[in-house]
């Protein structure tokens, strides 16, 4: 047998040599673990990528055991979850690991995304890593939404009713599309059955595939670091970055410390506080689905509430405010912005379109558009961020102020989404919605002004 | 015509005519393949539409409304949706006129109801006090909570004339299901077709009448 391809990865022994001639085991191990160089100054923010993978594995593993007892049938579903909780040996543990796991997955993913924003990990050349990550975020939201219908509690039912009705506002095809997704004229057994299929087969497959692509893209460009500088600009005589250390074993060992700390928190909640005060498991979901009775305080799970608040804040007065803001930005741009006349004309057309659209559409349709836009904004970050430096350590003051404002608005929106709407709370949600979108719309401006600090040529690191 | 030497030389050695022919054949094969894949997708897509069993579940329902007291509200399930039956008191009926200015669609021009219910009470003139309405918010399909009391209410406002409040996104409706201004919902709650036979109301059937 002739071996045509050679590479310089030395097999450890005769057996591995036999394998390596047929399968690139040593090559993959070296390129992605033993010789994948990461900056030596990784801090705790870098735990959350590997923790997200851990949570994906935990959710898949616990999910497999739950499907052994769960019945995806409107008549049986609620009772089968109670059966898991009461009669199946350690069923309560598997179920709480899964339900708490869903929330912890989102905690980890939100922190992972925030890490990207503060250290500029979404910037060139990592745009595709970021974009694939955003798609993972959307797929994860779909996965969580469908999983939440399965216990067939009253909040499951009405949450699904609200979110599926969002598609109704799509012109012409909306109502037919919702009917097709539900498989019935209302949320019913047919809906539950197909959500089960999507939740346990389709979306997990998509998520695993996307995570694979996320890592392939990351390993093509290399990991960022807390200083946001390129470690490949300082190489030693072997061509390895002087500030880099191999992912295996160094980063793996470090991540295991993160895993240990994370498990203390995660299992602490699982064992001592699994409903997390009604935030991880909502009290209305301890009653079976009732198509005639909307729960008094219908709220989605906490990880959707910022976006849900934006949906809810969209009333005629918000649209009016958005029109005025679009107008001001438009005038300011003509007078002040240093862009070409072509770009000004193009942006004017966009602004005019937005203003006419805001006049024509109803608050309901725009609520859905704004909620979708709130998520789409994340996809655009690599191109909205114009700062000459990547890391928050060297960023200008305007960026730091804007980021803090955005965080405050995001948390307030999340809090308001968990509470019943009142006129004052709706107004606050509208103010925060404006701040949310202003953060993205004005990012090209506030990232290009102010004094940035000089970036170091080597990563900031002190040996312990 | 056919050049038998093609297989002996590489692709770049092909004549222009043969290259064109290869492109055409590749294109048409891929095109038909795409049509085939599209056709194969159709049955899977259609399998997700409502089944015959689901379609048959939409029969009319009947209810003896003489059991309902003045000012009392009952909910009946029709096609899986809650239908509100409310026998409004004189005070409640009077309130419908006073709030017209704060409604988004006071004449129900943009809302769904049979012709005989497109009036100020949104009810059949034979029983104007009886509100028959799908208790489904026109925003995103929640079931609004009844706020029947007249007077200040934390959600309905200081001078509430009674109505319905949607806990999901804060839409407000009056006691005829008409939506207030500046809330997420923009149309009134739908009125289903209905008819009376003595004290029995049939929801979902009106023999095609319009008045």
pLDDT in tens, B118-147: 888 899 888 888 999 998 888 878 888 888
Residue B210, in any domain of the structure: no
Show residues of chain B in contact with A183, CB under 8 Å.
48-51, 54
Interface list for chain A against chain B, based on CB atoms closer than 8 Å: 158, 161-162, 164-166, 168, 179-186, 188, 190, 194, 291-298, 311-312, 314-317, 362-364, 367, 420-423, 426
Mutate to test the interface with A, among B73, B139, B164 (most CBs of A within 10 A): B139
What's the pLDDT band for B191 if we cut at 50, 70, 90?
Answer: very high
Chain B residue with Cα closest to A299: B168
Cβ(A414)–Cβ(A309) under 8 Å? yes
A270 lies in the same domain as A348: no
Judged by CB atoms closer than 8 Å, whether chains meet at A186 and B181 is answered as no
Which pLDDT does position B198 carry in this prediction? 87
B122 lies in the same domain as B29: no
Q: By residue range, what is the domain housing residue B28?
A: 4-46
Q: By residue range, what is the domain housing residue A426?
A: 304-446
Show residues of chain A in contact with B58, CB under 8 Å.
185
- Of the candidates A4, A29, A95, A7, the one whose C-alpha atom is nearest the C-alpha of residue A58 is A95
Which of A219, A254, A286 represents a domain boundary (last residue)? Answer: A286
Show residues of chain A in contact with B140, CB under 8 Å.
161-162, 165-166, 168, 364
Name beta bridge partners: A284.
none
Residue A407, in any domain of the structure: yes
Residue A167, in any domain of the structure: yes
B92 lies in the same domain as B188: yes
Cis-peptide, bond into residue B110, ω within 30° of zero: no
B64 lies in the same domain as B12: no
Does residue B211 have a pLDDT over 80?
no
A272 lies in the same domain as A337: no
Which pLDDT does position A349 carry in this prediction? 84
pLDDT in tens, A139-180: 999 999 999 999 999 999 988 988 888 888 788 888 889 989
Q: Which residues of chain A have pLDDT under 70?
A: 1-7, 337-338, 361-364
Does residue B1 have a pLDDT over 60?
no
Residue A463, in any domain of the structure: no
Instruction: Report how far residue B184's alpha carbon sits from residue A311's, in angstroms, rounded to the nearest whole number.
Output: 9
Min Cα–Cα distance to chain A from B187, Å: 10
**Facing residue for B186 by CB, picked from A166, A293, A362:** A362
Does residue B161 have a pLDDT over 90?
no
In chain B, the number of structural domains is 2
In chain A, the number of structural domains is 2
A35 lies in the same domain as A100: yes
Residue A2, in any domain of the structure: no
B68 lies in the same domain as B146: yes
B122 lies in the same domain as B70: yes
B28 lies in the same domain as B68: no
B110 lies in the same domain as B137: yes
- Dihedral angle over CA of B107, B108, B113, B118, nearest 10: 0
pLDDT in tens, B75-85: 988 887 889 99
Which pLDDT does position A356 carry in this prediction? 79
Residue A18, in any domain of the structure: no
CATH code: domain of residue A412: 1.20.810.10
Residue A189, in any domain of the structure: yes
Residue B52, in any domain of the structure: no
Does residue B8 have a pLDDT over 80?
no
Helices and strands counted in chain A (H then E):
18, 2
B14 lies in the same domain as B94: no
- Dihedral angle over CA of A398, A403, A405, A408, nearest 10: -160
Min Cα–Cα distance to chain A from B144, Å: 7
Name the residue with higher pLDDT: A203 or B170: A203
Show residues of chain B in contact with A367, CB under 8 Å.
184
Name the residue with higher pLDDT: B33 or A362: B33
């Amino acid at each position: 047998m002739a071996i045509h391809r050679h590479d310089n990865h030395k097999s450890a022994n005769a057996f591995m040599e036999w394998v390596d001639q047929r399968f690139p085991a040593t090559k993959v191990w070296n390129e992605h673990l033993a010789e994948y160089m990461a900056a030596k100054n990784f801090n705790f923010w870098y735990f959350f990528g590997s923790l997200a993978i851990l949570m994906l594995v935990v959710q898949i593993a616990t999910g497999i055991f739950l499907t052994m007892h769960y019945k995806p049938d409107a008549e049986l579903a609620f009772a089968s979850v109670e059966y898991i909780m009461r009669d199946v040996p350690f069923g309560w543990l598997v179920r709480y690991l899964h339900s708490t796991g869903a929330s912890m997955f989102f905690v980890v993913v939100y922190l992972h995304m925030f890490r990207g924003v503060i250290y500029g990990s979404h910037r060139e050349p990592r745009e595709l890593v970021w974009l694939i990550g955003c798609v993972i975020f959307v797929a994860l939201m779909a996965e969580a939404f469908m999983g939440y219908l399965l216990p067939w509690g009253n909040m499951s039912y009405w949450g699904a009713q609200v979110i599926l009705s969002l598609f109704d506002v799509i012109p012409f095809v909306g109502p037919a599309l919702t009917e097709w997704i539900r498989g019935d004229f209302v949320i019913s057994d047919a809906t539950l059955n197909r959500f089960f299929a999507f939740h346990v087969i389709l979306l997990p497959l998509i998520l695993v595939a996307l995570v694979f692509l996320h890592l392939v893209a990351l390993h093509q460009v290399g990991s960022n670091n807390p200083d946001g500088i390129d470690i490949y600009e300082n190489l030693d005589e072997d061509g390895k970055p002087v500030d880099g250390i191999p992912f295996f074993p160094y980063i793996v060992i470090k991540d295991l410390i993160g895993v240990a700390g994370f498990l203390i928190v995660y299992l602490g909640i699982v064992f001592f506080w699994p409903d997390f005060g009604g935030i991880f498991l909502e009290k209305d979901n301890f009653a079976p689905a009732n198509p005639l009775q909307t729960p008094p305080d219908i709220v989605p799970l906490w990880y959707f509430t910022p976006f849900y608040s934006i949906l809810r804040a969209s009333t005629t007065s918000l649209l009016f405010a958005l029109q005025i803001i679009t107008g001001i930005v438009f005038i300011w741009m003509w007078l002040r912005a240093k862009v070409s006349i072509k770009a000004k004309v193009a942006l004017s057309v966009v602004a005019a379109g937005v203003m006419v659209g805001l006049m024509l559409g109803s608050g309901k349709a725009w609520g859905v558009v704004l909620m979708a836009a709130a998520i789409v904004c994340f996809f655009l970050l690599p191109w909205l961020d114009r700062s000459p430096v990547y890391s928050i350590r060297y960023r200008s003051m305007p960026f730091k102020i804007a980021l803090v404002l955005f965080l405050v608005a995001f948390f307030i929106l999340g809090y308001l989404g968990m509470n019943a709407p009142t006129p004052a709370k709706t107004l606050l949600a509208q103010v925060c919605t404006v701040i949310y979108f202003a953060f993205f719309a004005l990012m090209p401006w506030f990232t290009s002004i102010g004094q940035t600090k000089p970036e170091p040529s080597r990563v900031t690191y002190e040996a312990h | 015509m056919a050049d038998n030497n093609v297989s002996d030389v590489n692709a770049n050695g092909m004549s222009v005519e043969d290259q064109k022919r290869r492109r055409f054949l590749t294109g048409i094969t891929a095109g038909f393949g795409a049509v085939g894949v599209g056709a194969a997708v159709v049955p899977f897509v259609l399998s997700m539409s409502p089944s015959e069993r689901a379609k048959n579940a939409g029969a009319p329902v009947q209810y003896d409304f003489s059991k309902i007291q003045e000012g009392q509200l009952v909910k009946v399930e029709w096609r899986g949706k809650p239908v509100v039956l409310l026998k409004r008191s004189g005070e409640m009926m009077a309130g419908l006129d006073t709030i017209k200015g704060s409604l988004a669609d006071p004449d129900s021009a943009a809302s769904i109801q049979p012709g005989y219910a497109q009036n100020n009470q949104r009810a059949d003139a034979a029983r104007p006090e009886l509100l028959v309405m799908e208790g489904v918010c026109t925003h995103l399909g929640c079931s609004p909570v009844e706020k029947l009391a007249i007077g200040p209410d934390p959600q309905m406002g200081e001078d509430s004339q009674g109505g319905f409040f949607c806990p999901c996104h804060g839409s407000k409706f009056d006691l005829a299901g008409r939506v207030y201004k500046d809330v997420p919902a923009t149309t009134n709650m739908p009125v289903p077709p209905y008819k009376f036979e003595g004290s029995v109301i049939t929801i979902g059937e009106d023999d095609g009448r319009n008045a």
